[in-house]
Each structure stands twice: as structure tokens, then as C-alpha cells.
Amino acid sequence: MSDPGGNVLHLTAAEYATAERLAGFVAAAGASAAPRLLLTNRRAATLKLRPLVGDPVALPLDAHLDAATIASLADPTADLDNPLRGPFAVLRRAPMAAEFAAVKLLKLARLLPAALVATAADTQGLLCVDADAITAYDDQAARALRIVSDARVPLADAEVARIIAFRPPDGGIEHLAIVIGEPTRREPVLARLHSECFTGDLLGSLRCDCGEQLRGAIRTIAAAGGGVLLYLAQEGRGIGLVNKLKAYRLQDQGFDTVEANERLGFDPDERVFRPAAEMLRLLGFDAVRLLTNNPEKVSGLVASGINVVERVPHAFPANNHNEFYLATKKAKSGHLL
């Protein structure tokens, strides 16, 4: 990838480092490429790497950083079983735009945000992506969303319902709207933003309250006479299903949901709400009564131009598997529970 400063980087995901892949990466980069490992400030702080200069943090590849160590630096799920032995050097300089974009690209791919990069002198035969296109992707993909499919789907708790699919032109991530009843566009619509949760929505996991929130929202909207539920492809607060399962493993080690995401190198919440705003506009809604306990959803919609005239509480009782999770959402994420 390249940035406005003329920097071009070779890139590979650090979590998949093996001795063979690392040797091939270093050989392809060349002697003057200065290969390095990029970690987010969140992950670097977990590893007690100091000083932290910028985000991402760059570690030069040296004798300490063999393939197994690189993979362990990227993936924290074995930290307690196999504590990492340093010291690890940190480059004392601000990151390049291309380095920031490299980590962002891994997040977009739902990989752990740790990258092996090397400065590229020869780009012949390489697929090169502009750093600005990567950093702007979330916003551009949201603005480009279009309705691509629409079908009547009677639901157990809302027989009059339609599912409308949205997709950007590049064939990227798809989001869904469940329109219940025949909501008017002349007044604020009762709406719910629901981030997909495979474990809770489909399997009935007791570790979260997602399944109850989904089915409860459908019942509430149907009882109110109509509205819309946006089913957003933002599994695990935007980190993806595989990384969410890694976070679960960390939670089993004693970390709360926020700490687990940060140890993985992510922010506590990686979601963006511009796609939801664009979906509402395409459906003809510019004002909502929002079913949520999360103030970030309110502010995210407002920042994207949707008028939130009311926050409608949407909470369910805890069970002995998710009570700590819900307490953490309240204490650390500001949820109104």
C-alpha cells in the first residue's frame, strides 16, 4: 500500500506468522526494507511496551522476534499460559500514514490488528492500495449503500414484515432492515439498531443479552403498530465473530468484555453508525424513536444526520452467565441499564 508521502509497504497479517512465511516475507522485502511489526496502542499497553509513540507502535524485527513470538505478540489468548519475554524494542518515531492504513486494513478483514510490514522499493507485480482509500473506506462504503433485495418474510412475532438488503457497489458487507408493519414517514419511526450476534441471535447464547434484545425489539415494534429494525453486520462490536470468540476466551481468563477487546488490540467498540443512518434515509426515515440503552448509538445517529427524538429503554433481566457482562457495559461503556 502507498501513502501521500510516497511510502509503499509490503503487508502480511502477524497472527499467521510461521517460520516459512516470515523468511519469505523478509526475503521478498529485501535487505533495505526495514521489516517491522505494527501493534495498536491498545495491544502495546497490554504488553507494557514503553515509550508509546503514536498509533500503531512499530517494533523492528530482531533476534527476539521469531515467528512464534510475532504470532504471540499479535494474539493475546495465550498470554497467561506463555508469558512473553522481552525486552522488545520500540521505534521512537511517529507512524507513517501507510502504517496506520495497514492496521486498518486488517480490521476491515476481521483479522487481529497486528501487521508485519516492510518498506517496498520495487512494487512491480504487487497489488497496491492507496492508504487514503483504506482509511476512508468505512465512510465511503456507508455512503454508497444501495437497496439490492426486498422480500416479504412473515416472522413469528411480526407476521407483516419485510426484509430489505443493503450492499455497497463493491460487493462489501451487507446490512439488513426488517420493516415491520407499514410505518409512516410522516412522524418519527420506532427503530432499533441491532448488531448481528451469531452466538446470541442464532444459538441462544447466555453470555450476552443479544438474542433477547433482537426478539424483544421485534415484539415491541410489532405491538406498537410498526417500525424498523436494522440488522447490522457488526459482530462483536465490529471485531468479527472469530475475534469475538478470542475475546470470550480472554473473558474466561478473568478479563471483562472491554479489557478483552483491548488486549486483542481493538478499541472497546469498533462500530460505526453511518451505515445505519444511510439505511434509514434510503427507507425514507429521517427521525426516530430509538430502542436502545447505549448512548453511543444515539450520538452516532445524530452525528450522521438522523434526528433521535426519543430514547426508548430496551433492557432485559440478567442471568448468571451474563450479569458481569451487563455490569461492565453499564460501568465502562455507559449503557443505561
Residues designated catalytic: 269, 271
Q: How many CB atoms lie within 10 A of CB 186?
A: 7
Query: DSSP letter string over 249-272?
Result: HHHHTT--HHHHHHHTT--S----
> Which residue from 333, 291, 294, 284 is spatially nearest to 310, judged by alpha carbons?
291
> Which residue from 54, 62, 72, 63 is spatially nearest to 18, judged by alpha carbons?
72
What angle in degrees, to the nearest 10, is found between the helix axes of 19-29 and 67-74?
Answer: 100
Q: Which residue has the cell 443512518?
A: 277
Q: Mention every residue, 6+ apart, whose C-beta is less than 8 A from residue 320.
A: none
Q: How many angstroms separate the CA atoms of 114 and 16, rounded?
A: 10
Q: How many CB atoms lie within 10 A of CB 112?
A: 29
Query: DSSP letter string over 240-253?
Result: -HHHHHHHHHHHHT
SS3 287: strand
Q: How many angstroms separate the CA atoms of 262 and 1, rounded?
A: 26
